[in-house]
Amino acid sequence: MTASPSSSPDVSPEVSREVSREVSRDLTPDASAGPSHALHSPVIAWFEQHARDLPWRRPEAGPWGVMVSEFMLQQTPVSRVLPVYEQWLARWPRPADLAAEAPGEAVRAWGRLGYPRRALRLHGAAAAITERHGGDVPREHAQLLALPGVGEYTAAAVASFAYGQRHAVLDTNVRRVFARAATGVEYPPNATTAAERRLARELLPGDEATAARWAAASMELGALVCTAKSPDCARCPVAGLCAWRLAGKPAHDGPPRRGQTYAGTDRQVRGKLLAVLREAVGPVPQAVLDTVWNEPVQRARALDGLVSDGLVEPLDGGLYRLPQTRPGA
């Protein structure tokens, strides 16, 4: 995909087109030579020097540790994930260890990471790995994608980070780096597009080892340097190639970016209800749950949603608990 910087009052269309052509010459793969362009070496070299020492990047983490980290890191910062990750792997060092316990224990251990359905999905994936693959996280992308709760991103990330395979790994950080460096816009679209996937494939190095390193390096660059609110272009190893910077950093002119409102939402109420159930040693009466939120209609809606999502089990007598059986089991 050729770069297409956004229009800006400070940059004429002719200049923008010229910037686009210059960046495109660096980024468009040469079919005769295989995918190779100017971004790879500086980004990977920067990563080798500045990558954070994270436990899921260490060899001892193994594929299971990588998979656990990918579930936890979705929409959750590293600082919040680290303590829960360490406790999780200490308790469940293998998929079979997690699969042997009730799904409610996964929800309990998930704590306050947020989006607790991820805990149920990870438990379901662990059960499937145990039943279908002898307890070993599969290597094949198609087999990973067939696991419950594993989507395109997670399958590509595990295949790349755990097994060193060649896959385009597109998370929010990578999408932002590519949007700025290659496409010349400040932010990517709200949802991943076919054009972004095509660009990611075009930017993917040809050999597996370099492709896997590139996936991790471009993600780290977005997390540490090319951040959403305060990009540090002075520290960026590809600032001289960045289409957005060369075009004068045109302001975002697309749809409004989605916020992360929490206070007063059903999400907050769900979190409060789950907090009571996580701390309880047995089933919790409805009357206790009624004390966590004053608005009865919203509280009932949140509780019904938790039951519908399989995060809470209703019992006779107006009692509730974390789930003890796997959905469909």
Class of the domain covering 266-321: mainly alpha
Domain with CATH 1.10.10 in the chain: 266-321
Q: Count CB atoms within 10 A of the CB of residue 210.
A: 19
- Topology of the domain covering 13-38+167-246: Endonuclease Iii, domain 2 (1.10.1670)
Structure confidence at residue 307 (pLDDT): 98
Domain with CATH 1.10.340.30 in the chain: 55-163
Structure confidence at residue 27 (pLDDT): 35
Structure confidence at residue 261 (pLDDT): 82
Please provide the CATH number assigned to the domain covering 55-163: 1.10.340.30
Is 202 catalytic? The answer is: no
Continuous segment of H or E residues that includes residue 83: helix 78-91
Say which of 70, 186, 196, 313 is annotated catalytic. 70
pLDDT in tens, 219-242: 999 999 999 999 999 999 999 999
223-232 own/partner pairs: CB under 8 Å, 24+ apart: 223/78, 223/173, 224/50, 224/52, 226/173, 226/176, 226/177, 226/180, 226/181, 228/176, 228/187, 231/180
Burial of 111 (0-12, 13-18, 19+ CB in 10 A): middle
Across the range 107-114, mean pLDDT stands at 96
pTM value is 0.86
Structure confidence at residue 184 (pLDDT): 97
d(CA 64, CA 222): 24
Domain with CATH 1.10.1670.10 in the chain: 13-38+167-246
Assign 194 to helix, strand or coil. helix
Let me know the angle formed at the C-alpha of 230 by 71 and 177, rounded to the nearest 5 degrees: 55
Distance of CA 51 to the CA centre of its chain: 18
> Strand order of the sheet with strand 319-321?
284-285, 319-321, 313-315
Describe the crossing of helices 40-50 and 208-224 by its angle, rounded to 10 degrees.
Answer: 70
What residue type is 22 in one-letter code? E
pLDDT in tens, 266-304: 999 999 999 999 999 999 999 999 999 999 999 999 999
